[in-house]
Every structure is written in C-alpha cells, then in structure tokens.
C-alpha cells in the first residue's frame, strides 16, 4: 500500500504499484530501490520480467500497464533513435487508455529526437515530468566504458569536450521526488553534475582512486565505429554511437544546470565521491 501526498497536500493511500520500465537499468534499479525503501510498492519491468515489457513488442505493454496510475519510463536504447518518437507516442496513448495519470520520462541532453519524444509526453494531457540528464558517472562502472577502465586504457572518439557528468543516484532521487511530490508535477528537470570534466579528467580521477595507471586515448570517430562494427554492433547501435559522439558530445552540453538543486534542494554529488564509492564496491577490480 502506497502513501502519496495529493495536490492539496493530503496524504492518500493507493493500492496500485508504481510501474518502472527498465527494471535492471542504471536508473530503473535505483528508482525501484529508493521507492521500496520508502515503503512504496512497485512493478519493475523489462524483457526479462514477469510480466514482460519490450519496447519492440507493443503487445507486451498492456499487461504491464494494467491498473497502473504512475510510471517511470526509460526508453531503450535511447530517445535519440529515429523510431523513439512514434514508439513513445503509441506507448503514451496506451497508458492513457489504461487510465495512467502520471508519467516521468528519462531523457538525454542535446538530442533532437529526445526533445521530440519529450514533447509527446508534455502535450499528452497526462501529468508529466521530464528528467533530462547529462552523461552518467555510472557509464564508467556499470556500462560500456567499464571494460576500458578495467583493462587500463579507455579508448573513445572524444577530445577535450567538457561534459557535466551526473550520478545516477541523483537522477533516481529526482525521479522519486517527481513521483511522490505532487507540487513538482508538470516540470522538466535538467539535471547535471556539479562540474565540467573531460573524459580524460574522469579517467585520471578513477586512476588516482584505484591506485594504478589508467590512460585515456582519443581515436578518430571513423576508426572507432569500424572497430565496433568488427565486434558485431548492429547498424542501429552504430547509428546511435555516431549520433552520440558526433553530435551530443560536440560541446553543446558543456554547461552545468541546476535541476538537482531545484528538485531536491541540494547540490548534486561529485565525481570524486562516486569514484571512491565505485572503487570500494569493487567495480573496477575484475580485470585489473
């Protein structure tokens, strides 16, 4: 049973769980844990859950949406992909027809496709929140950058572009605030970390934390994509990588924003503190 404060500030009890799309994801798992810690029940779904939820199989959506009033939505692989806007529109319509009242959408900064998808939700007539995030700290410890860190040399097609990387714990806290504090409804939170860093800065910080040499190597985008093709990435995945490294990381996002402060009334977490915690948890020890 969930206690949620309504728009007049009255505590109401709801029987329905909050749906989380992206059960095992970097933010979905954290939102799920934080809600459960507050005693709020959830239904966390992905392709490997019961019920199954698959963005590529719209027939799986209705079962997950049944009886749901609120949901946290992470799109896979990325709202930048060309099919995302129409897929999200179909999903929002399905949610509305099932009686969903409030959706919180995770979005990415500087992506044209993401802005079009955000607008689908903002103009849907549902209660909405968009949490538009910069690059995650956890890409270095829970996603595709981990291998380079473990092997001692991170290779990417990015030079000295500054990015305000953010902690997924902060993103999850902002999402949970949006889901549980009705006064935050119908707002977009642009969330970043507190400082601008290059990828080389991040690697140097991790290297210092783990106490061994880890280098950063910039390579041309063409040869990076050719290598990814060689190891079997699909055309869609290659399209996304090209989009991320040629557009999203061209310097357009090289400014911090105050979404964490706005939603939570405190500053976002620092990369150095994340690196310490990730190292302590053994994130980078596997292939050392």
Q: Which residues bind ligand NAP (CB under 6 A)?
A: 22, 24-28, 46-48, 53-56, 74-76, 78-79, 106, 108, 133, 135-136, 139
Going from the C-alpha of 43 to that of each of 93, 95, 209, 265, the distances in angstroms are: 20, 15, 37, 28
**What is the closest distance, in whole angstroms, from the C-beta atom of residue 24 to ligand NAP in the complex?**
4
Which residue, 14 or 233, is less far from ligand NAP as judged by CB? Answer: 233
Which residue, 212 or 252, is less far from ligand NAP as judged by CB? Answer: 252
What CA–CA distance (Å, rounded) separates 68 from 237? 32
Q: φ and ψ at 100, to 5 degrees?
A: -65, 145
Composition of the chain by helix, strand, coil, percent to 5: 40, 20, 40
Which residue, 59 or 183, is less far from ligand NAP as judged by CB? Answer: 59
**What is the closest distance, in whole angstroms, from the C-beta atom of residue 100 to ligand NAP in the complex?**
17
**What is the closest distance, in whole angstroms, from the C-beta atom of residue 264 to ligand NAP in the complex?**
18
Which residue, 4 or 81, is less far from ligand NAP as judged by CB? Answer: 81
Cβ 35 vs Cβ 16: under 8 Å: no
Classify strands 127-133 and 18-21 as parallel, antiparallel or unpaired.
unpaired
Nearest C-alpha neighbor of 136 from the set 84, 202, 206: 202
Which tokens is 198 given?
């290059």
Tell me which residue has its CB nearest to ligand NAP: 25
By residue count, the chain amounts to 288
**What is the closest distance, in whole angstroms, from the C-beta atom of residue 61 to ligand NAP in the complex?**
10
Nearest C-alpha neighbor of 168 from the set 207, 135, 196: 135
Q: How many CB atoms are closer than 10 A to CB 286?
A: 10
Which residue, 133 or 206, is less far from ligand NAP as judged by CB? Answer: 133
**What is the closest distance, in whole angstroms, from the C-beta atom of residue 11 to ligand NAP in the complex?**
29
**What is the closest distance, in whole angstroms, from the C-beta atom of residue 137 to ligand NAP in the complex?**
9
Which residue, 142 or 218, is less far from ligand NAP as judged by CB? Answer: 142
Which residue, 106 or 241, is less far from ligand NAP as judged by CB? Answer: 106
What CA–CA distance (Å, rounded) separates 90 from 94? 6
Enumerate the H helices of the chain as residue ranges.
28-37, 61-65, 84-97, 112-122, 139-142, 146-151, 168-180, 199-210, 221-230, 235-243, 259-264, 271-280
Which residue, 79 or 263, is less far from ligand NAP as judged by CB? Answer: 79
What CA–CA distance (Å, rounded) separates 261 from 59? 39
**What is the closest distance, in whole angstroms, from the C-beta atom of residue 6 to ligand NAP in the complex?**
28
What CA–CA distance (Å, rounded) separates 168 from 91? 24
**What is the closest distance, in whole angstroms, from the C-beta atom of residue 164 to ligand NAP in the complex?**
11
């Amino acid at each position: 049973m969930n206690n949620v404060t309504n728009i007049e500030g009255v505590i109401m009890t709801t029987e329905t769980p909050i749906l989380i799309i992206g059960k095992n994801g970097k933010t979905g798992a954290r939102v799920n844990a934080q809600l459960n810690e507050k005693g709020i029940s959830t239904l966390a779904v992905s392709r490997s859950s019961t019920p199954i939820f698959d963005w590529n199989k719209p027939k799986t959506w209705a079962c997950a949406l049944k009886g749901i009033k609120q949901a946290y939505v992470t799109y896979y692989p990325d709202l930048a992909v060309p099919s995302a806007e129409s897929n999200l529109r179909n999903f929002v319509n399905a949610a509305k027809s099932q009686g969903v009242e409030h959706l919180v959408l995770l979005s990415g900064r500087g992506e044209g496709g993401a802005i079009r998808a955000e607008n689908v939700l903002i103009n849907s007539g549902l209660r909405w929140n968009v949490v538009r995030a910069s690059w995650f700290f956890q890409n270095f410890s829970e996603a595709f950058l981990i291998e380079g860190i473990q092997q001692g040399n991170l290779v990417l097609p990015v030079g000295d572009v500054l990015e305000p990387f953010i902690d997924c714990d902060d993103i999850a806290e902002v999402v949970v605030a949006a889901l549980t504090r009705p006064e935050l409804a119908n707002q977009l939170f642009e969330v970043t970390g507190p400082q601008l860093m290059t990828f080389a800065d991040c690697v140097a910080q991790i290297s210092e934390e783990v106490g061994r040499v880890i280098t950063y190597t910039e390579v041309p985008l063409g040869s990076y994509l050719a290598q990814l093709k060689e190891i079997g990435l699909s055309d869609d995945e290659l399209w996304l990588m090209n989009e991320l490294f040629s557009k999203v990381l061209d310097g357009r996002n090289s400014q911090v924003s105050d979404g964490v402060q706005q939603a939570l009334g405190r500053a976002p977490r620092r990369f150095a503190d994340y690196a310490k915690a990730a190292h302590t948890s053994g994130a980078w020890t596997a292939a050392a």
